[in-house]
Amino acid sequence: MEELRLSKRLAELGLCSRREADEYIAKGWVKVDGVVVDVLGSKVLPSQVVSLEPAAKATQAGRVTILVNKPVGYVSGQAEKGYTPAVALVVPDNHWEGDTSGIRFVPPHMRDLAPAGRLDIDSVGLLVLTQDGVVAKTLIGENSNVEKEYLVRVTGQLSSEGMKKLNHGLSLDGKALKPARVSWQNENQLRFILREGKKRQIRRMCELVGLEVVGLKRIRIGRVLLGDLPPGKWRYLSATEKF
């Protein structure tokens, strides 16, 4: 069996992100077969038992994930072209009063808060910001298979063949897209359920079948719903919610 870097093995097991793994290893918070390993770059066999010390788990427990109902005009990641990043909405005044997580806002919750997935500047709805590397890996890791659901208002005529292609048969950037689930929600709105998230994917898919997107809203990621969260407001992901 081929040895793997310990940090990569920790990430593969879903115990933490690779960045977090290096931090935990350096602090002596990782054990291999019951023995602490604190040397960065250490390697392990897939058959060896890798575990985290309680201190690492306590650190993870203190990390938060925040759900934002992103309005039009905000970018999901870094500020660009004068537009404001969605993380700027995460201030006490915008904390949704319907939040049932029981978590009280403290300034450290803003530290290293990063988007786990993109949502275009002209799209609205559910955006995830997280400090938790495990959550980020679940949603945007290369092997992520988490569903994202969207309501998409369109103009133009969609043929039955076009609908078939939206569900499976289109390619972007020279690569075939994974099968999707696309259906009519009403006479001018489609429901898209995807398991991938290429840049402006839905808009580009629609263009390929003769449709123009005039409104796009993400309403679900995995088992987590946008629900009644108002535009511009945010709430914490509760301990009972899982993607």
Give the domain CATH number at 185. Answer: 3.30.70.1560
Whether 242 is in a domain gets the answer no
In a shared domain, residues 92 and 152: no
CATH of the domain at 125: 3.30.70.580
Cα-based distances in Å from 174 to 170, 179, 193, 215:
10, 16, 21, 26
In a shared domain, residues 119 and 229: yes
Q: Does residue 94 surpass a pLDDT of 90?
A: yes
Q: pLDDT tens for residues 30-57?
A: 999 999 999 999 999 999 999 988 888 7
Specify the DSSP element, H or E, that contains 164: helix 160-167
Q: In the structure, what pLDDT confidence band is assigned to residue 74 with cuts at 50, 70 and 90? A: very high
In a shared domain, residues 69 and 127: yes
Whether 194 is in a domain gets the answer yes
Q: pLDDT tens for residues 104-162?
A: 898 889 888 999 998 999 999 999 999 988 898 899 887 788 999 999 999 999 999 99
In a shared domain, residues 132 and 159: no
Q: pLDDT tens for residues 215-231?
A: 999 999 999 999 999 99
pLDDT of 61 reads 66
In a shared domain, residues 121 and 162: no
Q: In the structure, what pLDDT confidence band is assigned to residue 80 with cuts at 50, 70 and 90? A: low
In the chain, the number of structural domains is 3
Catalytic choice (120, 122, 132, 173): 120
Residue 196 sits in which domain range?
148-221
Q: Report the distance separating Cα 84 and Cα 111, nearest Å.
A: 18
Whether 126 is in a domain gets the answer yes
Identify whether 228 is a catalytic site residue: no
Whether 241 is in a domain gets the answer no
In a shared domain, residues 119 and 181: no
Last residue of a domain, one of 61, 80, 101: 61
Q: pLDDT tens for residues 171-181?
A: 999 999 999 99
In a shared domain, residues 52 and 95: no
Q: Report the distance separating Cα 98 and Cα 235, nearest Å.
A: 8
Q: Report the distance separating Cα 69 and Cα 126, nearest Å.
A: 5
